[in-house]
Amino acid sequence: MTSVWFWLAVAIAIPLFAITVAVERTAVGDRILTAMDRLAAPLWNRADDFVRAATAAFFIAIFVIGGVYLTPDLRTHSEWVSWAQLSIAAGLFSRRTMWLSAIGILALWGTALHEYQLFHLLDYLVLALGVASYLVLFSLEGSSWQEQRFTILRWAIAITLMRSSLEKFAYPDWFYPLAQEKPFLTFGMPTDVFLPMAGVVEFVLGLGLIWTPVVRRFSAIALLIIFNAAVIPFGRLDFVGHGLITMMLVVAAIDPSREIQTAPGFRRAIVGAPIGFIAALAILAPTYWNLHAVLYGRDTPTQISARSGHHLAMSKK
């Protein structure tokens, strides 16, 4: 928070957030939502099919890659893991077996704890919980809880992205080799300038996924552009690794829901944007660093990253 570039990014991002909320309250905002609904309707009408197909394709892809858990970043020598992933994909073809696939996803995350440390795997826990919860709720045909399945996906990806954005502040050393290898990633800015600004942007866009409809959909579209643009320099493996994230962002972008279930008045208020940013940062940032201290003591992030064997590929998130 002593970085002037952090505050410059905040000074740019938060007013844009608030302006978008203000526009959304006008007739222009309503027309924007109507146009988005019309464009997204063909896919939204098959949203459940899309989620199941995308999730199955992801697990088939990492089965083909082989030797990984829930992402290409998490390597393993256990051959049974790949076959478990193929079984998870097969379970998505029927409502009766989708809950088994959900258990399989969580089981793979738990198994990965034997080879990777908890702090690293927390990046994937909320993501795994979101997908598993969706599969269970979708299989509960006729249940009132089923209506919350897409909301849970949105919250899962929002929390995942907000938490992962803090890596740019906690572990800046991870990004320096990447910036040296591919300097175009920083858009010509010095790395020490780019990282805090990129972290703020990712945090704000993650928060936007659980905000008002226009903010949510614009945030999802912006993140989709960023993640898919990364495929160009990093290749198809990056596309596979972000498969579940991409699926969740597409759902957030096409969801026509305009109802805000939690604190609707606060989120629609213009002052809600800066207050929401401060509140989210005040909750997630101390939790991030305090958990780090509980698990590893007061060592520096650089020392911890060297010992725990984190993959540089994480930085591409």
DSSP calls for 159-197 = HHHHHHHTHHHH-GGGHHHHHHH-GGGGTTS-HHHHHHH
- Distance between first and last Cα of the chain: 22
pLDDT tens digit string along 168-191?
Answer: 888 888 888 888 888 888 887 888
The answer, yes or no, to whether residue 238 has pLDDT greater than 90, is no
DSSP calls for 86-110 = HHHHHHTT-HHHHHHHHHHHHHHHH
Stronger pLDDT, 161 or 315, i.e. the higher one: 161
Mean pLDDT, residues 57-64 taken together: 91
- Helix axis angle for 272-296 and 118-139, nearest 10°, is 120
Give residue for tokens 């927390």. Answer: 122
Q: What percentage of the chain reaches a pLDDT higher than 90?
A: 42
Q: What is the CA radius of gyration of the chain?
A: 20
The neighbouring-strand residues paired with 68 are: 75
Q: What percentage of the chain reaches a pLDDT higher than 70?
A: 93
- Separation between Cα atoms, residue 35 and residue 102, nearest integer Å: 35
Q: Classify 111 as helix, strand or coil.
A: helix
Confidence of residue 299 (pLDDT cuts 50, 70, 90): low
Please state the domain count of the chain: 1
The answer, yes or no, to whether residue 156 has pLDDT greater than 60, is yes
- Separation between Cα atoms, residue 122 and residue 293, nearest integer Å: 15
Mean pLDDT, residues 33-59 taken together: 93
- Helix axis angle for 27-44 and 4-24, nearest 10°, is 90
Number of neighbouring beta carbons within 10 Å of residue 177: 11
The neighbouring-strand residues paired with 75 are: 68
Task: Note if the pTM is more than 0.75.
Answer: yes
Number of neighbouring beta carbons within 10 Å of residue 38: 10
- List the domain range (segments joined by +) for residue 153: 4-316
